Amino acid sequence: MSGGSAEHEPGKHGLTPELQRSYDLCRGIARAHGKTYSMAARLLDAEQRRHVHAVYAFCRVADDIVDEAGERDLAQTRAALTEFGARFEADLAAGHSGHPVLAAVVHTAHTLHIDPECFTRFMRSMSMDLDTAKYDTWADLMDYMDGSAAVIGEMMLPVLRPRDNAALRPARDLGVAFQLTNFLRDVGEDLDRGRIYLPQEDLWRFGADPQARTVTPEWRALMRFEIARNREIYAAADTGIPMLAGRSARCVHTARVLYSQILERIEAAGYDVFTARARVPGRRKLAVALRSMLGRAPGHRPGRAPGSPADPTAAT
């Protein structure tokens, strides 16, 4: 008869029941709030999916603390965010956690050797949301996105097992591209929270006023400019896909195609991001995922830019 507790004995996938429950919780969070990411992650193997869910859940929990700031005192929100960050740092240093979500996150961070500084930079940007409502320049916004977006690409890179260290820059670019797409899609929702994630210099240049919540010629010109910039960043990120092996390449390609299609939905709506949220239908997501799953890894097609219209595995 063993003297150890069953709660701490390895079970499925070599995980203790406590750790398995934490990963299951992270999976639920990812599926509930990150449907596009979850769809793409299904193309990965079980271990990779588990780690994707853990990283996503960490970011989501912190983001939710910030986004609920309007429902409570700012000091309480700041304290809650600080407490969450401090708990993670302590648990990471200890090598384990009893927190429902952080148990999986700490395990993933140690298993994949994710640089702890990545999490520090992420939490810094989350803190910025409590004090900063707008960004004067593109450089200012990029400083924020270093911790809120680019660093997510850095965290995910060990999950994807790149074949080339040069994949770091494209991974950061893809994180920025995804978040910029979010910013363009969620202008109305962010206004409700008192935030504007479009550089003030761009608003001044085009004479556009998002607070008017009206699609004017000036607003359309601004959005065309921002969408073009977003697509340039996606194109830069595409160079990293051939540096990934089969499953990982298909996963990233799928997420990239699906997320960038949000930009097409914004254009189709006449750049109206105030009255309805631009969405890619579920059937479309499934079709793109199946196409990637059944086809060759996009990075293996010579002469083709992954994710470009010329790529036969890309959605049309």
Cα 258 to Cα 262: distance, rounded to the nearest angstrom: 7
Selection from 70, 33, 37 nearest residue 190 by Cα? 70
pTM value surpassing 0.85: yes
Please provide the CATH number assigned to the domain covering 133-316.
Answer: 1.10.600.10
Kindly report, residue by residue over 127-184, the tens digit of the pLDDT: 999 999 999 999 999 999 999 999 999 999 999 999 999 999 999 999 999 999 999 9
Q: Are 210 and 218 in contact (CB under 8 A)?
A: no
Average pLDDT over residues 280-294: 62
CB neighbour list of residue 101: distance below 8 Å, 6 or more residues apart = 22, 25, 26, 29, 57, 58, 61
Average pLDDT over residues 35-47: 89
Q: What ranges do the domains of the chain cover?
A: 15-131, 133-316
